Amino acid sequence: TTGQCTTLVRHKTQDVCRIVDYLLPDHVVIVDGVLSINPDNHSRIILVNDFIFPDSPTTHTVNCPQEDLSICFISDTHFGSTEWMGKVWHRFVDYLNCRIGNDRQREQAGKIKYLCIAGDLVDGIGVYPDQDKHLTITDIYKQYEACAGYLAAIPEYISIIISPGDHDAVRKAIPNPAIPKDIAPNLYDQGYLMLGNPTTVSLHGIKTQMFHGTSLIDINMSIPGMSNEDPFGTMKELLRCRDLAPTYGKKTEIAPVEKNWMIMESLPDILHTGHLHKNGYGKYHGILAINSGCFQAQTDFMNSLGIIPDYGKPTIVNIKNRLQTKVIDLIGEY
């Protein structure tokens, strides 16, 4: 049954008044209150005591494995862009190959078993007007060919998991299928795990959800106090709504598919996003949320949003030690 009903939040319920700012069109919430019906015209109003979000349990338990291994999280490499940070990328490859850093840093790098890339591997073609002026590679096939070449320098013992973003060769509307094999054959031939967006994988028993994060900017523009500079704050809203794209009709295009793949029916141990080109992480109710920065200098679009990118700062999570998390600074530390 669908319908409409007016709700009233009284000023004396200040905590509830603050929640109202976080309510967006299309949010699914429980309204806890008292229904009042006018006997004359049968109009109805709910006097609100509280709004209850789907949310996640306050104590999410992670079953950490005994193996002393780590997962590396990156996104937004943007191979083919004039703003691609090539020197920083090569330093990242040197780090993964344990060729740079002190003994502790090399030991840390040697424990990395998985590399998760949450979209925008390449800069793409025709993503925005006059993009060709900002490309070093103007052929999408050659962009992915270059991408495969750069990834091939990563040690073979590191399993690479790839999901697409809005700059990749997939439809703009989410959810996205995996990057097609006929466009990026080398990525498939090199044995990488090519998945859609969003996607969920189990890495040594750690349930990891990857989502490029196009909806993050919509949320930041809709909720007072939210900022592109604080991706963890925005990711908490995704977990509270249990929906990766909780509002419809903004900048984020959502495909009219039969099942809503944006709904978080079961919760991950780690939620990994990109898109904002900002680093940020934290735990919400025991779930580790990571936005992993980029390998691209500031573009005109990022400048228009006031975003100063965090490039060359991969996030490393040790899965044995309660998801102990560290951001490495490839420019300042190495």
- Model confidence pLDDT, tens digit, residues 90-127: 999 999 999 999 999 999 999 999 999 999 999 999 99
Question: Is it the case that residue 188 has pLDDT exceeding 70?
Answer: yes
CATH fold of 70-327, please? Purple Acid Phosphatase; chain A, domain 2 (3.60.21)
Q: What is the mean pLDDT of the segment spanning 220-248? A: 94
* 63, 205 contact by CB (below 8 A): yes
Question: Is it the case that residue 303 has pLDDT exceeding 90?
Answer: no
How many Å apart are CA 238 and CA 241, to the nearest integer? Answer: 5
Q: What is the mean pLDDT of the segment spanning 123-136? A: 93
Predicted confidence band of residue 239 (pLDDT cuts 50, 70, 90): very high
pLDDT of residue 4: 85
Question: Is it the case that residue 39 has pLDDT exceeding 90?
Answer: no
Q: Which is nearest to 149 in space by CA: 45, 77, 257? A: 77
pLDDT of residue 101: 93
What predicted TM-score, i.e. pTM, was given to this entire model? 0.94
Domain spans in the chain, listed from the N-terminal domain onward: 6-52, 70-327
How many Å apart are CA 21 and CA 28, to the nearest integer? Answer: 15
How many Å apart are CA 135 and CA 131, to the nearest integer? Answer: 7
Q: What is the mean pLDDT of the segment spanning 168-181? A: 98
pLDDT of residue 12: 67
Q: What is the CA radius of gyration of the chain?
A: 22
As a whole number, the mean pLDDT across the chain is: 94
How many Å apart are CA 72 and CA 286, to the nearest integer? Answer: 19
Q: Which is nearest to 120 in space by CA: 292, 325, 317? A: 292
Question: Is it the case that residue 325 has pLDDT exceeding 90?
Answer: yes
